[in-house]
Structure 1
Amino acid sequence: MDKIAVYGASGFTGRLVVAELLRRGVPLVAAGRDGERLRQAAGGRPGAEVRVAGAGDPAALAAAFDGCAAVINCVAPFEEFGEPVLRAAVSVGCHYVDTTGEQTYLKRVFDTFGEPARRRGVTVVPALADDGGPGDLIAHLTAEALGPGADLAVLTVADLRRPGGVSRGTARTALANRRLWGGDGGLHWADGAWRAGTVARTETVPAPGAGAEPEAGELKVTAFALPGIVTVPRHVRARRVEAVMRAEVAPLFGALTEEVVAALPEGPDAGTRAAARWLMAAYATAADGRRAQGSVTGTDGYGLTAVIAVEGALRLVTGEVPPGVLAPAQAFDPADFLTALEPHGVRWSVLTPA
């Protein structure tokens, strides 16, 4: 079986990815800058090799990924560490996935790495985490429910999880996003282009129906910089795409400071993770007024991020996916991928209200 490299393997998410690969019996390379921590993450398990490579050393990165079929990049912030890892993976012919939620980095990957990846014959699928992956896939299925190629007036991608514990890496990403976007809620898609500086028009969304949390009525939301804004317009035809988050959660990210982030534990403990539920939803309105909504939900978003990233990497290695930089719904069959997550407690549905 082909080896898969995990960069940032000694970090919080990286260790979860390593554990998921070992659970599936996939040989792996645990890569990063700290050899001792990498050895601890690998746990001396057969099939887990350790290779030391700092993100600032292109030659060491290329050597770390040499002989691997794919790289799963878990290091954050991606604005700082993402591109060198991706560049090294492409240079040695490795497929690549990552767990980023950073819009500017994500857009830069699509803008600059498509042609190099195609020339090298590798596939790059960024944003395979519990928000970017399921959010992109359910958005595609929701739009499709209104008919293939339907002309949508607006598509809203919503992160509707309730407050819960976050990792230090997630908090750092949120802090970096706030510095970039302030109160503007990041990018949105309007009239054929990505734009900044305008908050989402959507202020409430219907509580998701079957297959999600048992809520009713309308949920208050606010603009938020989700990765789906960068990926969804690449495979869904919509005049406007916007991203929102549950209104009581977004201010918690807005209150983060360097001091608060530094004081956070590396990640939530197992009990907190098991009790936390993540929920991504999509709401589509066609130009003729028809509507559809979809949702995907599960527990332990960090554990599911590891499952999603590993599932994606294995599909790139064993499947026939075109080379280049692709959104999750471009690389994988959305319904099939979400169905593959069901054994891990994921539930999803798409509704077309009468």
Structure 2
Amino acid sequence: MKIAVYGANGYQGRLVLAEMARRGIETVLAGRDLARLEEAASAVGLPGAERRVADTSDHGALLNAFRGCDGVINCAGPFTSSGEAVVRAAIAAGCHYVDTSGEQLYVKKIFDAFRTEARNAGVTVVPAANDGCVPVDLMAHLLADRLGSVEEIITTHAVVGGGGMSRGSLRSVVETIDSIKAGGLTYDDGDWRPGAPARRTAITLPGRSEATPVTPFPVSEVVTVPRHIRVRHVQGLTEAALGDRLNTPLTPQIIENLPEGPDEDSRRTQHFTYVIDATGTDGRRARGTVQGPDTYGTTAVIAVESARRLIADPAEPGVLAPAQAYHPTAFLDFLVPHGIRRTIEDTAAT
């Protein structure tokens, strides 16, 4: 098994490389700058790994970078401006593809633009293989099985600690700020629509005695969940305080003067809680909760395992949601030793 990591020299890319090295998976480092790729290879203990240089503007170079590989993990954001080129080249090279994007409109565009191309090539594409979308999408599927028929799914993201975002994440925020300010897409009666008001303004999160104010947010599972669950409404929320922080103006100069990303000690202090509230058509309700540490480290684990599973146990070709590509319980069980805990409980009927 050979997997190419594009954007291998970036902050998230290096964490993915470290996970690849830990698991002994043959790795090709791909990116725009040979010197930075060599530095990354040495830093993560892969000094002998092959390095291939390719810019996203050069399809031929990308194709050569992925040729002979079984899969591609794309860590090079912002994905909105460059991700499609990497997807196109991976499909042309016959490689299964995952990425670490959290950019909602980009994720939807990959579904819309590449499903036929990927299917015809016999390739599986799973965008947004990150700490949030994969476990939340899988949990939503389990909740739908529990309720039988689903009217509404509301997901809420809450993250505390961790020392802030990486430069790459901040660049993605800048590139998608209009979508963030508008609250992203909401799925409603068969289509995705922007600018919908929050269906809830406060949610009581696990371990908190008082309700937390929340605001609409462009999470990727709003795009993926309706592809495998028959549901009328899906919306993503986050803590209102996070939404306020992300609205703070950022410039490229400010971002460049920040650390590349949180250090390891800071990441150890981070804790995320993702809540999935599902309401059945009969009024019954169930809540799924996913909790764990270190969003960037968890994303590395999930991205590597997502690519590995596509290669070792192929799914249907095309662009798929996580729950279409992987067995939900099996994948969630894999995450338990990595500190990712999940619960499902019935809640009071409406």
How far residue 39 of structure 1 moved from its aligned partner, in angstroms, is 0.9
Match of 2:159 in 1: 161
Are the counterparts in 1 of residues 202 and 213 from structure 2 also a CA contact under 8 Å? yes
Match of 1:284 in 2: 278
Are the counterparts in 2 of residues 145 and 352 from structure 1 also a CA contact under 8 Å? no
Cα distance in 1 for partners of 2:329, 2:239 equals 25
Q: What is the alpha-carbon root mean square deviation over aligned residues?
A: 1.5
Are the counterparts in 1 of residues 161 and 271 from structure 2 also a CA contact under 8 Å? no
Are the counterparts in 2 of residues 162 and 246 from structure 1 also a CA contact under 8 Å? no
Secondary structure at the counterpart of residue 347 of structure 2 = coil
Written as runs of structure 1 = structure 2, the 5 A alignment for 1:90-109 is: 90-109=91-110
2:324 aligned residue (315, 330, 354): 330
Written as runs of structure 1 = structure 2, the 5 A alignment for 1:1-354 is: 2-43=1-42, 45=46, 48-147=49-148, 150=149, 152-162=150-160, 164=162, 165-179=164-178, 181=179, 183-208=181-206, 214-258=207-251, 259-353=253-347
How far residue 254 of structure 1 moved from its aligned partner, in angstroms, is 1.2
How far residue 268 of structure 1 moved from its aligned partner, in angstroms, is 0.4
Secondary structure at the counterpart of residue 245 of structure 1 = strand
Cα distance in 2 for partners of 1:162, 1:248 equals 11
The 1:280/1:254 distance shift into structure 2, 3 A limit, reads: same
How far residue 205 of structure 1 moved from its aligned partner, in angstroms, is 2.0
Read off the aligned partner of 1:278 and give its amino acid letter.
F
Cα distance in 2 for partners of 1:262, 1:142 equals 42
Cα distance in 1 for partners of 2:254, 2:226 equals 35
How far residue 262 of structure 1 moved from its aligned partner, in angstroms, is 3.1
Are the counterparts in 2 of residues 34 and 52 from structure 1 also a CA contact under 8 Å? yes
How far residue 219 of structure 1 moved from its aligned partner, in angstroms, is 2.4
Q: Which moved more, 1:22-31 or 1:261-270?
A: 261-270
Cα distance in 2 for partners of 1:294, 1:283 equals 7
How far residue 291 of structure 1 moved from its aligned partner, in angstroms, is 0.3
Q: Which moved more, 1:320-329 or 1:168-177?
A: 168-177
Secondary structure at the counterpart of residue 181 of structure 2 = coil
Match of 1:211 in 2: none
Cα distance in 1 for partners of 2:48, 2:68 equals 14
Runs (5+) with no aligned partner, structure 2: none
Cα distance in 2 for partners of 1:28, 1:233 equals 34
How far residue 203 of structure 1 moved from its aligned partner, in angstroms, is 1.1
1:244-301: CA deviation from partner (whole Å, max 9, x where unpaired): 0012222111114114433321110111101001221100111221000001111111
TM-score by length of 1: 0.94
Are the counterparts in 1 of residues 31 and 37 from structure 2 also a CA contact under 8 Å? yes
Read off the aligned partner of 1:172 and give its amino acid letter.
R
How far residue 215 of structure 1 moved from its aligned partner, in angstroms, is 2.7
Cα distance in 2 for partners of 1:26, 1:183 equals 40
How far residue 46 of structure 1 moved from its aligned partner, in angstroms, is 6.0
TM-score by length of 2: 0.95
1:105-147: CA deviation from partner (whole Å, max 9, x where unpaired): 1111000101111111010000011122122122222222212
Runs (5+) with no aligned partner, structure 1: 209-213
The 4+ residue runs of structure 1 with deviation greater than 6 A are none
Identity, % of aligned pairs? 48
Cα distance in 1 for partners of 2:137, 2:204 equals 19
Are the counterparts in 1 of residues 180 and 217 from structure 2 also a CA contact under 8 Å? no
Are the counterparts in 1 of residues 167 and 256 from structure 2 also a CA contact under 8 Å? yes
Read off the aligned partner of 1:146 and give its amino acid letter.
L
Cα distance in 2 for partners of 1:63, 1:254 equals 40
Q: Which moved more, 1:339-348 or 1:309-318?
A: 339-348
The 1:260/1:139 distance shift into structure 2, 3 A limit, reads: farther
